[in-house]
Structure 1
């Protein structure tokens, strides 16, 4: 791995950390992940139905042009990365974190945060988790979470960062012309629903089923 790749991977991870902090602690005018989760938990239906409803809402309503513009006025990015990319990361992470909270997980646990990041990789998340003995598709137990060591957290974060780097960039350099692969690109200011749905389903498999 070259120095440029390491630098870019670091930028991605710093942006993810920023987005997670904002998703968990909230941004003025926007619900935190926990607030959004609690709103859906109050609704009728089974837990799976409530989670599916949240995912559907994200598919159709999240990250409208107005949302992006409004958010851009209150955020201060930690690194030199376009606001629209950081915003999409925020939208995705908030959705995943909300699903984790609905499953009863502590969003302030670094191990849970790492699993949230892993879900951002979409279908590849299952392969990354499997490499470290973590099985997506059956609800992760409290014991399984506690057994994730600090060393494993670091290695998973590195794997996730590298995976996102290969999607974001080409030859280790972020290519803004191919930006926002996490959600398939922003079209008309809206998050691509298909990829958002995939990420939401992965999160549901990890934290709910």
Structure 2
């Protein structure tokens, strides 16, 4: 995970106390808005279908474009401050957390849609949220039996387990806080060295989003021929 990531995990409970709006309901609302569309961003499925058309029906190329687009969104200066209107709770939550939740949910949803998953299915929605945690965290949570399985297995489970909804949302909320806390620490340290601080500040969210996009690409295997 790295030093800043580890410290971010340690700081997460304290930061959560300063952002009481970051609850399970916030995480679910972020996912809903990412799928349905918010502000200048069209629904995840519509954006993914546009990429599919531009790639002449090549799903894998469309998935690549979805990832690349969202990496740019995540890394762009000022993007998260211009989204606006995600949820009322965003007023009490650092905009970086709001932006990460929206961008990453939307990217994963677009990938899942392209691979034939129903974004309205609660099993798929749980899988989308789990994917945000990243492969290492998911593996750890499965070993600790906090969640039953990785994203692909959750999305294709025989039935939806409603008890998982709160567990998954809470884990995602804590993880988002930890990532932002860790990144801010890295930026603070980086400012001691010329140029490094700026690189860290602009690149951290983009890199995290790219890693999660690649994980989603591996997890959401094709379900049906398009």
TM more than 0.5: yes
Q: Which structure 2 residues correspond to residues 67-146 of structure 1 after superposition, within 5 A?
A: 67-72=79-84, 74-78=85-89, 80-123=92-135, 124-129=137-142, 131=145, 132-135=147-150, 140=153, 144-146=156-158
- Which secondary structure state, in structure 1, belongs to the residue aligned with residue 107 of structure 2? helix
Alpha-carbon distance between aligned partners in 1 of 2:73 and 2:179, rounded to the nearest angstrom? 25
Q: Which structure 2 residues correspond to residues 161-180 of structure 1 after superposition, within 5 A?
A: 161-164=173-176, 166-167=178-179, 177-178=184-185
Q: Is the 8 A contact 2:105 2:128 kept in 1?
A: yes
Q: Which structure 2 residues correspond to residues 1-209 of structure 1 after superposition, within 5 A?
A: 11-42=22-53, 43-44=55-56, 46-62=58-74, 64-65=76-77, 67-72=79-84, 74-78=85-89, 80-123=92-135, 124-129=137-142, 131=145, 132-135=147-150, 140=153, 144-164=156-176, 166-167=178-179, 177-178=184-185, 187-188=201-202, 192-208=205-221
Structure with the greater alpha carbon radius of gyration: 2
Q: How many residues align?
A: 193
The TM-score normalised by the length of structure 1 is: 0.71
Give me the CA root mean square deviation.
Answer: 3.6
Unpaired segments ≥5 residues, structure 1: 170-174, 180-184
Alpha-carbon distance between aligned partners in 2 of 1:158 and 1:61, rounded to the nearest angstrom? 25
Unpaired segments ≥5 residues, structure 2: 1-12, 187-198
